[in-house]
Amino acid sequence: MGIVNVTPDSFSDGGRYLDAQAAVAHGLALVEEGADILDVGGESTRPGADPVAPDEQIRRVVPVIEGLVAAGTHAQISIDTTRLAVAAAAAAAGATYVNDVSAFRADPDLAGLVADRRLDCCLAHMRGDPRTMQSEAVYEDVVSEVKAFLEERLRAAVAAGIAEERVMLDPGIGFAKTLEHNLELLRRLDELVALGRPLVVGTSRKSFLGRLTGREADDRLAGTIATNVLALERGAAVFRVHDVRPVADALTVAAATVRGR
């Protein structure tokens, strides 16, 4: 899953692809590098980020989605949003996947849209919102609590009419998690894979890698590769990354070793 941030304030690449043509070109380049899904977002979810009104998100993302569709890309297009209006506009433009870091809690009616349009979706674990989430990183057993949350949100999605086979789950690495929480989730990822749905992992360039290595966001590729290879070995299915080609190459080698060709 290649990241296409159409935002001025994302932690790693904010502002680089705010222009729609630049974002489309970036998305197509990620597909050439091996991306199967392009995750297009108009609102940063980094810790401390301010919310972006749905109308502004729509203004940012719809021209990018339309441009990717017009280019004939074979990649599935995902809209990274928690808002019904944004997802509806994105679906009308050609998106077929909704990546909701709130797991349908910010805008419960979004589940109905996903069900009605037969869209795929990813539901992530997060406490609070980007402005408050790091103050809520308190757990007795982070893996058990994240697992229980994802299990409940999966049931809620199915109850809303979404076919279970259309749901993916994301443990929310970096969302209301300390360094230790992130490492524990990666270490015990197989317990979340046991929920039976494809697991999406998003560690790319995140701050916990910087805390471990001392590297700035643009220099965290090695840590990103290491965490994704470990996640693959533990059963993860989808890898949300900025740097598609090197991570895809690493995963190809790891998969051939762990699973056989």
Contact (CB, 8 A) for 122 and 98: yes
Q: What is the CA radius of gyration of the chain?
A: 17
Residues annotated as catalytic (active site), given as ranges: 206, 240
pLDDT of amino acid 50:
83
The C-alpha atoms of residue 29 and residue 4 are separated, in whole angstroms, by: 11
Spatial separation of the C-alpha atoms in residues 183 and 203, rounded to whole Å: 11
228: helix, strand or coil: helix
Of 237, 150, 223, 235, give the one whose Cα is nearest residue 189: 235
117 to 37, 63, 98, 199, 207: CA distances (angstroms):
18, 20, 11, 22, 35
User: What's the predicted TM-score (pTM) here?
Assistant: 0.94
pLDDT tens track for 59-111: 999 999 999 999 999 999 999 999 999 999 999 999 999 999 999 999 999 99
Model confidence band, residue 208 (pLDDT cutoffs 50, 70, 90): very high
pLDDT category at 16 given cuts 50, 70, 90 is: confident
Instruction: Report the DSSP pairing between strands 120-124 and 97-100.
Output: parallel
Q: Is the dihedral of CA 205, 150, 157, 162 positive or negative?
A: positive
Q: How far is CA 223 from CA 60, 207, 214, 218, 258, in A?
A: 30, 11, 11, 11, 20
Whether residue 132 is predicted with pLDDT greater than 80 in this model: the reply is no
Please say whether the structural domain 2-258 has been given the CATH code 3.40.50.1970: no
pLDDT higher than threshold 70 for residue 193: yes
Give the mean pLDDT of the chain.
Answer: 94
Average pLDDT over residues 131-137: 79
pLDDT at 261: 54
Q: Where are the domains of the chain?
A: 2-258
